[in-house]
Chains A and B, each alone.
Chain A
Amino acid sequence: MSLSKEQKAALYRNLVRADQYNRMMYRRMMQGKLIGFYHPAEGAIAPGVAACTFLNQDDNLSPHHRGHGIIHMMSKGIDIKYYLAEHTGKDTGCCQGRSAFHFSFPEHKVYMMSGFIGYNFAPAVGWGLAAKRRGQGQVVMNCSGDGSYGQGRAHEAMLMAQNWKLPIIFFCENNGMSIFSTAGEMHPTPDIASMALAYDMPSVICDGQDVFDVAEAVLPAIERARRGEGPTFVEAKTLRFNEHDIGTPDLAGWEERGEQEHQEMRKREPVALATERVLAEGVFTQEQIDGLNEEAEKEIAAVEEFADNSDIARPPESELLADVFAP
């Protein structure tokens, strides 16, 4: 399929925002202005943008853990300030400052982040079941990494999704790494998408550095799900520019990933690639691009201000205990 100019513009705009959000999170972690840890998404922002920019509010989304889901959530139209407040332990946070990095936006059908890699697969089947029963064309965008497909529940979910023809997109963001372990060693075939063959599930592989290529792969999968024709497996081949999480050494196996590898990777920086293309195709002028960047800067400054000006969440223990069960 070919993308319209409006679609390309929307994708590019979100790519710029995603890049800046990720840089902001990286900077705040280094500044000690973030609770817990951060798994930086530099180099890997295009897949999430492409998968989520055209979702409706009532579509389900399980964001990938890399970038802590921010790329996916902001692309779906979620205001990130409540998550940043959460991630800084503030009482305006989306989970009342209780959860560190966990988020929850039920009104946007982004139910949760869990610390367990692979947690998303089985619930996605349940969301798909509900969507199918309602019959309103809702889809489930189930995003996770190559490593997460090691979990047995990935198999279980694909089995049920295909048996029941559920409207789920198994969106695999394959950055070739799982902490220090390479996908080359941990997965027997070059493509994770080959798993889909076993379930007779259609699959497509796309260039995760190219936001437009990913969109061209994922949009038909979304449409197919909306029509009730069942799940699709979409694999976006992407890259991890940084270490797994900030402060952890950057190893492949037990040796440093070399300078050479980093240099090669950086040649495929997604914003640079997309910028070249939007300029060449006349989607945006350089002036407009500068404008998009300024807009994103302003948006993020406001998000940070909101988080920083909120109070630290320190409710008394008794109040917390009263909140363990719904009334």
Chain B
Amino acid sequence: MRTITLIDAIKEAYQEELRRDDSVFLVGQDLRGAIFPHTKGLVEEFGTERILDTPIAESGMYGAAFGAAQEGMRPVVDFMFGGFSYVTFSECSVTTGQYYFLHGSQQSLPIVITAGVGTGQRLANDHAMSIHGTFAHHPGIKVAMPSTPYDAKGMFKAAIRDDNPVVIPWHMGIMMLKGEIPDEDYVVPLGVADVKREGDDVTVLANSMQLQHALKVAEKLEGEISVEVIDPRSFVPFDIDTVLQSLEKTNRLVVVDEDWESGGFAATVSARIMEQGFDLLDAPVTRVTLPNMPVPGGYMEEYVAPNPEKIEAAIRAVCA
């Protein structure tokens, strides 16, 4: 076991997969100089054909990855900030999601889409928005986001090895979070949730930076309210069984999601629990999400975005 940061865990996943499979390559902007630390040093080992920097041309950059995937390569496309993926929205959401199914399930697209996302930098909407919910809305694309260094390495490896398009952003607010990882090769399969903390009174479903917030709140409430914290890890496919199992015990659910309330993952979970787990509930499912406004920057970000205070209030409300 070793202790490393989340961003270094992603880097290790890249290094090991680039060594393992010659068809894997990274494409993005300023990856070689490493605008974020997870690509630092990669060009020295793998060269400029596998650590590929493009002009500021997101549609061309993603489209090239798409074409390379059709030719049997396995691109990892790094958009730097998640919002920048929307520059090439038709290609990376619509065309990517429909490609396999609409063309008669002949050829899948092994593309990984990644970027830094999330609140905490006070940079406002275009640099702070989450993208997982939007991609999850488009059938045919897997969507996941890691919350710990262990998950980050294992999930990025799973994403690169997956034959389908996988969107796997990482949250800038936890890039320096430290955690233990094993020395040997491992993957964390996509579509499997993880109980990060056991409890009896209420289940909190939270991911990424918000998972860290939820764990803090659970600790704070210990002795008063026993909180079970589940990390969905993947949004598509979503492991609802782990949540239903937990609800057998707790009968209460709070969904924390750093995305807009309307049409987001939390809304989907809430609807599905109502459909499949209505009889398990002692209280309505409660959501802690971004309110339906463009993410403000400045000092407003910290109290508008989901945060420990909002999570605690939701837990107390659902347990009242």
Point out residues on A near B: beta carbons under 8 Å. Answer: 35-37, 86, 89, 93, 97-102, 114-118, 147-148, 150-152, 178-181, 186-187, 248-249, 251, 253-254, 312-315, 317, 320-321, 323-324
A154 to chain B, nearest CB (A): 9
Q: What are 21 A-B pairs with beta-carbon distances under 8 A?
A: A35-B297, A89-B297, A89-B299, A93-B298, A97-B300, A115-B81, A115-B123, A115-B124, A116-B83, A178-B29, A178-B56, A179-B33, A180-B30, A181-B53, A186-B53, A186-B54, A248-B35, A312-B299, A317-B291, A323-B293, A324-B293
CB <8 Å contact, A115 and B83: yes
Asked if A179 meets B35 with Cβ closer than 8 Å, knowing A148-B56, A151-B57, A314-B303, the reply is: yes
CB <8 Å contact, B299 and A36: no
Give CA–CA (A321, B294) in the complex, Å: 10
A contact residues around B35 at 8 Å (CB): 179-180, 248
Chain B residues bordering chain A, tally (CB within 8 A):
38
Give CA–CA (A321, B300) in the complex, Å: 12
Task: Pick the residue among A99, A101, A317, A323 that contacts B304 (CB under 8 A).
Answer: A317
Is the contact region of chain A dominated by helix, strand, or loop, or is it mixed?
Answer: loop
Residue B94 at the A interface, CB < 8 A?
Answer: no
CB <8 Å contact, A254 and B296: no
Point out residues on B near A: beta carbons under 8 Å. Answer: 29-30, 32-35, 43-44, 53-60, 81, 83-84, 87, 121-127, 291-294, 296-300, 303-304
CB <8 Å contact, B121 and A118: no
CB <8 Å contact, A179 and B30: yes
CB <8 Å contact, B122 and A100: yes
CB <8 Å contact, A102 and B297: yes
Q: Which residue of B lies closest to A98 (CB)?
A: B296
CB <8 Å contact, B298 and A99: yes
CB <8 Å contact, B300 and A314: yes
CB <8 Å contact, A181 and B297: no
Asked if A114 meets B126 with Cβ closer than 8 Å, knowing A97-B298, A99-B296, A317-B303, the reply is: yes
CB <8 Å contact, A152 and B299: no
Task: Pick the residue among B44, B293, B298 that contacts A313 (CB under 8 A).
Answer: B298
CB <8 Å contact, A320 and B32: no
CB <8 Å contact, B297 and A36: yes
Other CB < 8 Å A-B pairs besides A36-B121, A100-B124, A254-B33, 5 of them? A179-B29, A180-B30, A317-B291, A321-B293, A324-B293
